[in-house]
Structure 1
Amino acid sequence: MLKIPAALVALSLLTAGGARGETTVQPVQVGQPAQVAASYGDYVRSSLEGYIRPAMGRFASDAARLPDAVQGACAAGDDSAREEFRAVYGATLASFARIGFLRFGPLAEANRLERLAFLPDARGVAQRQVRRILADRDATATTAGQLAGKSVAVQGLTALQLVAFDEEGRVTLGGTGDPDAAFSCAYALAIAGNVASLAGDLARDWADPAGFSGELLAPGPDRPLLKSDKEAAELIFNAIVTGFVIVRDQDLLPALGSGPDSAKPGRLPFARSGFTLAYLSAEISGLAEALKAGGYERGLDSEGTWIPASLEFEFGNALKALARLREPMRVTLAEPETHAGLSYVALVLKGLRDTVALNLAGSLNLSGGFNALDGD
């Protein structure tokens, strides 16, 4: 299981200073209304430079290691090479978890999000389609270029989990003289190459000043999407709000059911590979880091000064609760203590979402109640 750095458990939402080149915003005095309108552009630049671009770059760097890790496991077929693949796969999952809520701009183009991870998948579409490819030894699934034209369910990290891990969470890549193993390796390598390519495209697109980031930083009446700094800030802010909904409503609640007896651990993200807890922790840490990077506390009025400390406390509670649980969650979720712990995390996420979408958004005069999943 991936270790989440201790620093992520004690994330502070108070930033010491602004991003290079940003307009200085005077601190809000008690009883003084915040100069919110002057800060919207600062939130955007801080978010872009302090979180979005670095997170996309980290994902690209981790994903770039996947093809070699697959090749190493397939060529050696020993425990050491398989553990190396597991580590690289886990690191890539964690860095993907930190960008999966940024569902606008480059990630929303060309079905990139779904191609990287087909989630949620309540009907098991990916498993059926991947099994068919393996059973037929479909040669068109063995090159990244051809794979990119297939169903989004068979070409990303969720598909790679099905190919590279068995139901007990063991890495199965490798083995000599077995045609099925050879095909699985060829397919896994194509998936790894496709994920690396998509991640690289995301990092390049976000780094391009003439791309989507240019519209975020310089919105205007002639822009196709964003007409003002406030609209740009709300786009990023609402993606964070949506992130809480993703973790709670998509990742946790369907698996929890009404109790341990009705739990469906297979609905948890990446339960097969044993990376559920690391993935959830990375998702939550990413949301905390994105809020911190945005520097939203600079625009709080006197009635909102309690919000940063409250968010810091609840983020810490969620991460510490996850740290007390243990893999494999496909087994341990049936235990009352584990189920109660994950249910507590879901409850904390509801509180975090409400604090951000209602209290923080209200204090900043942002339309923060919208989430991209249901249009609320």
Structure 2
Amino acid sequence: MLRIPAALVALSLLTAGGARGETTVQPVQVGQPAQVAATYGDYARASLEGYIRPAMGRFATDAARLPDAVQGACVDGDDSAREEFRAVYGATLASFARISFLRFGPLAEGNRLERLAFMPDARGVAQRQVRKILADRDPTAATAEQLAGKSVAVQGLTALQLVAFDDAGAVMLGGQGEDAGFACAYSLAIATNVATIAGELTRDWADPAGFSGELLGPGPERPRLKSEKEAAELIFNALVTGFVIVRDQDLLPALASGPDSAKPGRLPFARSGFTLAYLSAEIGGLAEALEAGGYERGLDSEGVWIPASLEFEFGNALKMLARLREPMRVTLAEPETHAGLSNVALVLKGLRDTVALNLAGSLNLSGGFNALDGD
């Protein structure tokens, strides 16, 4: 459906320390009808097998490297070990960004999403709670088992950013003294907790008797999904919500009314210098998920323009991000940078409307639902 240039889709992974090859689906030729019609069940299966399960597995693989990366930075304490931790942390963020919009099923259970990343956090709850843990050297935060029972704000990737990176984005792990030792123990507990949750997500999505069984086999007796159309709409509406998350939660609060009033601290992962990588991975993930769903096979004659339009706008958003530079905590105050990020927000609005209104209408899906506010 979409053929976003590989160099753009892989931007966040390159920033994080290495790109992976991506599997693409051959697009339908614009202006020609699809040869094989798809059912709503086909969309759900294609999304599950072509995107959801692989993306969850990728996240689990990257997150599994975090504990060793923390230990390496803490034990060796040299620049090479710290850079390795930075690369692994960045890769994990990028993989998480690609699943963060899938806010149903296993990710919605047990506060897993919030435990992995406490966002948005306009009131600075995580910072206050993490600082208190560090100041008190709270021993209950130094093991993954006990940390898992604490506030969701102190046990995920957002908390790890506060512990492992300083205000300038440098990795702080590996210092001397009791405070540094506790910071390492706390960081290792967070990393282990994140890896555990990521593994649970992969396991649960792979379980045919779990939520994926209901997604692929909905029916009147099921507790949540009564039909194939409901299953397809659940995934489709998660995609729509994904555009809202990136624009309304990640970008607009930070952009405010202009460069002079911008709040770069509100951008995701600005402290560690991974804002652009994270945003690129979020947008790239939405593009990949739309492609994997195979929605082009159900387009009516009035919707044949949609794949080319989406391809063009996704490419625009990723190109705009590629032209910006970190650290966004500094550069967002520059008029050109602020204008560039504002243009990304504008493109996201157009993408959301095309998917929620035009694509949904062509497929006869209820696509305008926003899970964040119920509209």
| Normalised TM-score (structure 2) | 0.93
Q: What does residue range 206-221 of structure 1 map to in structure 2 within 5 Å?
A: 206-221=205-220
Q: Distance in 1 between matches of 2:39 and 2:221?
A: 22
1:296 and 2:306 aligned: no
| AA aligned opposite 1:151 | S
Corresponding position of 1:15: 25
What letter matches 1:271 in structure 2? A
Pairwise CA RMSD of aligned residues?
2.2
The whole-number CA distance in structure 1 between the counterparts of 2:312 and 2:32 is 24
Give the aligned partner of residue 16 of structure 2.
none
2:15 alignment counterpart: none
SS in 1 for 2:39: helix
**Corresponding residue number in structure 2 for 1:111:** 111
| Pairwise CA distance, 1:89 | 0.1
Report deviation, 1:371. 1.0
1:271 corresponding residue in structure 2: 270
Amino acid at match of 1:236: I
Q: Note closer, same or farther for the CA distance 1:28–1:299 as it changes in structure 2 (3 Å cut).
A: farther
Structure-1 residue corresponding to 2:358: 359
Cα deviation digits, residues 322-364 of structure 1 (max 9, x gap): 0000000000000000000000000000000000000000000
Match of 1:315 in 2: 314
- Any idea what the Cα deviations from partners look like across 1:136-163, whole Å, max 9, x if unmatched? 0000000000000000000000000000
Distance 2:239 2:280 in 1: 15
The answer on whether the counterparts of 1:358 and 1:369 sit within 8 Å (CA) in structure 2 is yes
* Distance across 1 between alignment mates of 2:243 and 2:201: 22
Q: 2:270, 2:248 → 1: CA distance? A: 17
Aligned to 2:55: 55
- Measured after TM superposition, the shift of residue 15 of structure 1 is 3.2
Task: Measure, in 1, the Cα distance between the counterparts of 2:352 and 2:364.
Answer: 16
Identify the residue that residue 373 of structure 1 maps to in structure 2. Answer: 372
- Paired amino acid for 1:247: V
Q: Matches of 1:76 and 1:13 in 2, distance apart?
A: 37
Secondary structure at 1:210's aligned position in 2? coil
In structure 2, the CA distance between the partners of 1:186 and 1:5, relative to structure 1 (3 Å rule), is: farther
Give the corresponding residue for 2:255: 256
Verify the 8 A CA contact 1:13 1:291 in the aligned structure 2: no
Determine the structure 2 residue equivalent to 1:81: 81
1: CA distance between counterparts of 2:255 and 2:154?
Answer: 26
- Counterpart in the other structure of 1:24: none
Shift in CA distance, 14/96, structure 1 to aligned 2, threshold 3 Å? closer
Check whether the contact 2:8–2:319 (CA below 8 A) recurs between aligned residues: no
Q: 3-state DSSP class of the match of 2:43?
A: helix
Deviation track 1:223-258 (CA, whole Å, cap 9, x = no partner) reads: 000010000000000000000000000000000000
Does structure 2 retain, via aligned residues, the 8 Å contact 1:13–1:312?
A: no
- Residues 120 and 165 from structure 1, CA distance in 2 versus in 1: closer, same or farther, beyond 3 angstroms? same
Q: CA deviation at 1:5?
A: 5.2
Give unmatched runs, 5+ long, in structure 2.
12-21
The one-letter code of the counterpart of 1:369 is G
Instruction: Give the total of aligned pairs.
Output: 361
Mapped to 2, the partners of 1:81 and 1:5 lie a distance apart of: 29
Q: Indicate the residue corresponding to 2:145 in structure 1.
A: 145
Task: Give the aligned residue type for 1:235.
Answer: L
Are the counterparts in 2 of residues 256 and 263 from structure 1 also a CA contact under 8 Å? Answer: yes
Distance 1:260 1:210, change over 3 A: same
The CA distance in 2 between the partners of 1:298 and 1:122, in whole Å, is: 41
Q: CA deviation at 1:7?
A: 5.5
CA contact (8 A) 2:215 2:231 kept: yes
- Give matches, 1:305-344, under 5 Å: 305-344=304-343
Q: What are the within-5 Å matches in structure 2 for residues 153-192 of structure 1?
A: 153-176=153-176, 178-192=177-191
- Rounded to whole Å, the distance in 2 between the matches of 1:136 and 1:75 is 23
Cα offset, 1:13, TM superposition = 12
Contact 1:215–1:226 under 8 Å retained in 2: yes
TM-score, length-scaled by structure 1: 0.93
Give, in angstroms, the shift of residue 16 of structure 1. 3.1
1:13–1:288: 8 Å Cα contact kept in structure 2?
no
Cα drift, residue 8 of structure 1 = 1.7
Shift of 1:114: 0.1
Please name the residue that 1:194 is paired with: 193
Contact 1:226 1:232 survives alignment (8 Å)? yes
Measured after TM superposition, the shift of residue 39 of structure 1 is 1.2
Corresponding residue number in structure 2 for 1:21: none
Shift in CA distance, 82/298, structure 1 to aligned 2, threshold 3 Å:
same
Query: Could you tell me which residue of structure 2 aligns to residue 225 of structure 1?
Result: 224
Say whether the 8 Å CA contact 1:13–1:292 is kept in structure 2.
no
User: How far did 1:17 drift?
Assistant: 8.7
Contact 1:13/1:295 (8 A) holds in 2: no
Aligned to 1:39: 39
